[in-house]
Structure 1
Amino acid sequence: MEKLENIIWHNTTISKKDRHRLNGHKSCVLWFTGLSGSGKSTLANAVDQELFRNGLRSFVLDGDNIRHGLNRDLSFHKLDRKENIRRIGEVAKLFVESGQIVSSAFISPFREDRDLVRGMFGGNEFIEIYCNCPIHICENRDPKGLYKKARKGEIHDFTGISSPYEAPLSPEIIIETSNTSIDQSVKKIFSFLQAKRIL
């Protein structure tokens, strides 16, 4: 990579700690990972809704939404997937610096890429939430009709069918989304955030 000369980091006047004091809570990224159809976006939005209801600063970054704008130039081949996650990590970091709790809902199938993002954050700022759901249930749900297209060969490099998913080895939270209700899942995540004194 070409070295960027004459570009110097400018420290902001208002610090992250200042924003924490103003908000009354700390900031972090809730990184929801799992197969397509495992419930990542649904759960991320349910958590965000509860945070909002409690007057907490939060935002959701969703995989499909980001690919409509910031990452619209990226394909689903491995190198582009890697860049997709790197960019999202950088965006999530900005939200955390701004004092918010950001829920990031991306398949992010490769451990190496998730670990790269984890390395961008300090202690307790990156919370990996594995939405664990058997592929046959994800495929039965198929909310966007993507598995059906993948089975027909209409979608290449589809996670779980023609491209691998590497499950987290030691995520902070595991949600068995095939047999855990949304309410139970949200409570589990809130309990974790309270235990870590983020809330």
Structure 2
Amino acid sequence: MIMKSSNVVWHQSTVTRQNRQEQNGHLSAILWFTGLSGAGKSTLAHAVEDALCKMNCRTFVIDGDNIRHGLCADLGFSSEDRVENIRRIGEVAKLFTEAGIIVLSAFISPFRADRDRVRELVPEGDFIEIYCQASLEVCEGRDVKGLYKKARSGEIPNFTGISSPYESPEEPEIIVKTGEDSLEACAQQVIEFLQVRGIVQPTSA
């Protein structure tokens, strides 16, 4: 358990989240893409960001691999380290929402409790869980990074879906069938959800 010093006091900014959202012309939110390795989380997150960029939205993708080059470079893949990895990302994502930005987080994040903990960090409606649904067979068939092959041979311990469990979301805001549908269709599904929620404005016909 991380202990916080009693001398640390939160400093309230004079420029509010609402000010930043008004300046940006859209609301901020956390788009949390979760799913097995190879399910297409990062690919979809970047496709959604590209679409939002064309709508003049302020965005940023936090990618699972990229974050381990810096902020989480000291963490491994044990259950404890995975928990801490997601905790840090959740705190970073929360800061992005305060900055008025739509943050797209692409992580396996295999444990429901960890994802729920991030949801609890922010006001209701800010956390949008996007389940990238693809079967283990489809993901292993893609095996873009060759990770499943290494996991099957025992080279990679604690690999989600093989030697470590993946707990699929029970009530995600969005289920995208990345194992079946096209990237364009999946991205459009996410954009339409954001428009219905009022996070971004509908595009004019």
- Say whether the fold is shared (TM-score over 0.5): yes
Question: Which amino acid is the alignment partner of residue 84 of structure 2?
Answer: E
What letter corresponds to residue 61 of structure 1 in structure 2? I
- Structure 2 CA distance, aligned partners of 1:99 and 1:192? 19
Distance 1:57 1:133 in 2: 29
Is 1:101 aligned with 2:108?
no
Could you tell me how far 1:183 is from its partner in structure 2? 1.1
In the alignment, residue 38 of structure 2 is paired with which amino acid? G
Runs ≥4 in structure 1, deviation > 4 angstroms?
A: none
Residues in 1 aligned to 2:184 and 2:3: alpha-carbon distance in whole angstroms: 48
> When the two structures are aligned, how many residues end up with a matched partner?
199
Work out the CA distance in 2 between the residues paired with 1:2 and 1:121. 21
- Quick one: structure 1 residues 21 and 3, their matched pair in 2 at CA, closer, same or farther if it must change by over 3 Å? closer
Q: Could you say which residue in structure 2 is the equivalent of 1:185?
A: 186
Q: What amino acid maps onto 2:115 in structure 1?
A: R
Residue number in structure 1 paired with 2:17: 16
AA paired with 1:36? S
Tell me the TM-score normalised to structure 2 length.
Answer: 0.96
How far off is 1:7 after superposition? 1.1
Q: Tell me which amino acid in the other structure corresponds to 1:11.
A: Q
Deviation at 1:192, TM superposition (A): 0.7
Give secondary structure in 1 for the equivalent of 2:105: strand
Distance of 2:71 and 2:195 partners within structure 1? 32
Residue 47 (1) aligns with residue 48 (2): yes
Q: CA RMSD in A?
A: 0.7
The SS at the match of 2:85 is helix
Q: Distance in 1 between matches of 2:74 and 2:83?
A: 13
Pairing of 1:17-96 with structure 2 (within 5 A) = 17-96=18-97
In structure 2, runs of 5+ residues without a counterpart are 201-205
Identity %: 58
